[in-house]
Amino acid sequence: MQQIAKGLLNWASVLEDATREQAVQTATMPFVRPHVALMPDAHLGMGSTVGSVIPTIRTVMPASVGVDIGCGMAAVRTQLGIDDVQGNPRGLAALRTAIEAAVPVSKGGYTTKVAPTAEPKVAELEAAAEKAGFDPASYAGNWRLQLGTLGSGNHFIELCVDEDGRVWVFLHSGSRGVGNRIAQHHVKVAQQLCEKWWITLPHRDLAYLVEGTDEFWRYIRELRWAQRFALLNRAEMLDRIVGCLAEWAGTNIQRTDDVQCHHNYTEQEEHGGKTVWLTRKGAIDASAGRRGLIPGSMGTRSYVVTGLGNPASFNSAPHGAGRNFSRRAARDRFTVEQLAEAMQGIEWRAENADAFLDEIPAAYKDIDQVMEDAKDLVTIDHTLRQILNVKGD
């Protein structure tokens, strides 16, 4: 860790100049105290740097939280071993196809009806929305059908194997379209209010809401709902994937080491004796003893970790490998043949390789370097390598 500017501590050994400048810009906001913590996977983001931890006093910047509120990870370890998988005559392609049939993927991919496994989760969210005083249907009329869906981009479902040959289900997703629309609405509200109050901002995506106003508390209520939606969305997908795995393997699945973590969210926390609104934008809670998940990219390793509770990082850790090339730059730089080579030994939708080219592992930072940079933030419990990958195009 090093202090690279006033109010900015950095854990990233690989840091682009533009990313550094964006993080400095956020750190100069007058309500950001005492500093911004830049994680090892830091890269350019909307308003604020992805891979940053931002404590704010009596304010929240909606764009810094991001448009995929509550995006994060979920994983469960099963009793199956690698021999159970390799010895299954049905093959991994059949399992991948079953998962893709059970979990809608890609942008705009929704269920046709609320599944029985999703009914109690939907009921919980309906009650939570009523308590929060808003109707999610005002943002997305089909929000109930979005529960249990993956999305696209860097969201994924994987079957992984750890260092002892044990099989894990591992996935990454967020609050889908309803969360995106909630976020976009409140980003716009914050920008309009700052314009109304004649507040000069270094960037319009640093617009903020002030605690005590109706706009602030409406955002917080809807933000918390979207964070819960994201967690239950991942839980619903896990239920469906485990069901697919059980049918494919011909046995009931025992679920252990159940780990869930957000990495795009805001919570009110105590740090340094002060109450702050802590935004983790591409970062996980790594409080002492807390379990977390840090994925690499498709074709590289991922990690199950335990937090060390580093106070300088506000008890935080990186959320993944972090992009090294933008999606457009990755498409210009790499080929589908290089992607296919990187995915050797992994069951994936190879016939759609061009759709996934911007997700090639080489477009991301070296996950091993990220984990080395994070050695004072987390300890590694398990190292996972994927054997099956599902993504939306």
Contact call for residues 36 and 271 (beta carbons, < 8 A): no
- The mean predicted confidence, pLDDT, of the chain is 94
CA distance 345 to 387: 7
> For the chain, what percent of residues have pLDDT higher than 90?
84
Residue 64 CB neighbours (<10 A): 27
Contact call for residues 161 and 385 (beta carbons, < 8 A): yes
Q: pTM of the prediction?
A: 0.95
Residue written as token pair 């308590």: 131
- Note the pLDDT tens digit of each residue in 214-236: 999 999 999 999 999 999 999 99
Per-residue pLDDT band at 238 (split at 50, 70, 90) = very high
> For the chain, what percent of residues have pLDDT higher than 70?
100
Mean pLDDT over 370-387 rounds to: 97
Per-residue pLDDT band at 110 (split at 50, 70, 90) = confident
Return the pLDDT at 10: 97
**Does the pLDDT at position 109 exceed 80?**
no
- Note the pLDDT tens digit of each residue in 42-95: 999 888 999 999 999 999 999 999 999 999 999 999 999 999 998 899 999 999
CA distance 368 to 296: 9
CA distance 128 to 356: 36
Residue written as token pair 């990958």: 389
DSSP E strands: which ranges in 132-262?
156-161, 166-173, 209-210, 256-262
DSSP-derived 3-state class of residue 235 = helix
Return the pLDDT at 193: 97
Residues 6+ apart with CB under 8 A from 388: 92, 95, 96, 158, 159, 346, 347, 348
Mean pLDDT over 9-28 rounds to: 94
Return the pLDDT at 52: 96
**Does the pLDDT at position 108 exceed 80?**
no
Residue 21 CB neighbours (<10 A): 12
**Does the pLDDT at position 121 exceed 90?**
yes
Helix (H) or strand (E) holding 42, with range, is: strand 36-43
CA distance 92 to 76: 18
Return the pLDDT at 47: 82
Mean pLDDT over 336-352 rounds to: 91
**Does the pLDDT at position 107 exceed 80?**
no
Q: Is 319 a catalytic residue?
A: yes
Question: Which of these is catalytic: 155, 262, 319, 382?
Answer: 319
> Would residue 51 be called left, alpha or beta, if left means φ above 0 and alpha means ψ between -120 and 50 degrees?
left
Return the pLDDT at 322: 84
DSSP E strands: which ranges in 134-245?
156-161, 166-173, 209-210
Residues 6+ apart with CB under 8 A from 132: 221, 222, 224, 225
What does the radius of gyration of the chain's CA atoms come to, in whole angstroms?
20
Per-residue pLDDT band at 152 (split at 50, 70, 90) = confident
b/e 383-393 (16+ beta carbons within 10 angstroms → b): ebbbbbbbbbe
Question: For the chain, first and last CA: distance in Å?
Answer: 37
Mean pLDDT over 361-370 rounds to: 91
Return the pLDDT at 222: 98
| Residue 324 CA: distances (Å) to CA of 226, 319, 338, 362 | 29, 14, 16, 8
Closest CA to 103 of 44, 147, 55: 147
Return the pLDDT at 111: 87
Return the pLDDT at 323: 85
Contact call for residues 297 and 155 (beta carbons, < 8 A): no
In the 8-state DSSP scheme, what is residue 254?
P
Return the pLDDT at 150: 93
Residues 6+ apart with CB under 8 A from 201: 194, 207
Single-letter residue type at 43: H
Residue 132 CB neighbours (<10 A): 18
Per-residue pLDDT band at 292 (split at 50, 70, 90) = very high
Return the pLDDT at 139: 97
Per-residue pLDDT band at 392 (split at 50, 70, 90) = confident
Name the phi and psi angles at 374, rounded to 5. Answer: -95, 15
